[in-house]
């Protein structure tokens, strides 16, 4: 999706919720929506500073929450402390494989797993709202 479209969509959403269009929110949107992997608040904060943008941690948390709620970014946690955020723009659904030796995060998908999951939920009288599927791995031959 084109940057302008994303920006326009964000502004539209802000207005529809009586939220104001501020420079901080626009800067955070632009940064958070970049395909830069699975960053925590600290890393995003740094990347913003590197771009010459200064916002408070509080505003960053608050704005990431708006972005998450409105489907611009995903929020995840691999159990190592802080929440991580990842763009959702032009990024289809996937799950995560985390190397416990290097920390590298690899994305994977499996239609088969997805459909088996659906069936399991359905067989129990439920439908899936969201799911977390993380494989903690280490290199073979080590």
Partner DNA sequence: GTTTCTGCAAAGCCTTTGCATATCG
Partner DNA sequence: CGATATGCAAAGGCTTTGCAGAAAC
The residues of the shown chain that bind DNA, judged by CB under 7 A, are 14, 18-25, 40-41, 54-59, 61-63, 65, 81-83
Question: Least separation, in Å, of the C-beta of 37 and DNA?
Answer: 16
Residue 112 binds which of a copy of itself, DNA, none (CB < 5-8 A, kind-dependent): a copy of itself
Query: Would you call 112 helix, strand, or coil by DSSP?
Result: helix
Start-to-end CA distance of the chain, whole Å, equals: 41
Q: Does 41 bind a copy of itself (CB under 8 A)?
A: no
- Near a copy of itself in 121-140, by CB under 8 A: 121-122, 124-140
The interface partner of residue 49, options being DNA, a copy of itself, none and the CB cut-off 5 to 8 Å by kind, is: none
47 or 83: whose CB is closer to a copy of itself? 83
**CA dihedral over 63, 5, 31, 104, signed as positive or negative:** positive
Instruction: List the structure tokens of 49.
Output: 């500073």
Q: Is 112 in the site for a copy of itself (CB under 8 A)?
A: yes
By CB under 8 A, residue 92 contacts a copy of itself? no
Structure tokens at 141: 């031959």
What 3-state DSSP class applies to 77? coil
68 in contact with a copy of itself (CB under 8 A) = no
As a whole number of angstroms, the distance between CA 26 and CA 32 comes to: 10
Residue 37 touches which member of a copy of itself, DNA, none, C-beta under 5-8 Å by kind = none
For residues 73 and 64, the answer to whether their CB atoms sit within 8 Å is: yes
The C-alpha atoms of residue 142 and residue 140 are separated, in whole angstroms, by 6
Q: Which two tokens stand for residue 43?
A: 């890393």
Which residues are at the interface with a copy of itself (CB under 8 A)? 77, 79, 97, 99-100, 106, 108, 110, 112-113, 116-117, 120-122, 124-140
């Amino acid at each position: 999706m084109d940057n302008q479209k994303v920006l326009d969509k964000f502004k539209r959403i802000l207005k529809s919720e009586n939220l104001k269009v501020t420079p901080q929110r626009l800067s955070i949107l632009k940064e958070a929506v970049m395909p830069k992997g699975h960053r925590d608040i600290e890393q995003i904060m740094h990347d913003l500073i590197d771009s010459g943008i200064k916002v408070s941690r509080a505003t960053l948390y608050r704005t990431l929450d708006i972005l998450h709620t409105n489907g611009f970014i995903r929020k995840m946690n691999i159990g190592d402390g802080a929440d991580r955020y990842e763009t959702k723009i032009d990024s289809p659904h996937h799950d995560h494989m985390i190397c416990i030796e290097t920390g590298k995060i690899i994305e994977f998908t499996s239609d088969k797993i997805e459909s088996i999951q659906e069936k399991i939920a359905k067989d129990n009288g439920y439908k899936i709202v969201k799911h977390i599927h993380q494989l903690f791995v280490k290199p073979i031959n080590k």
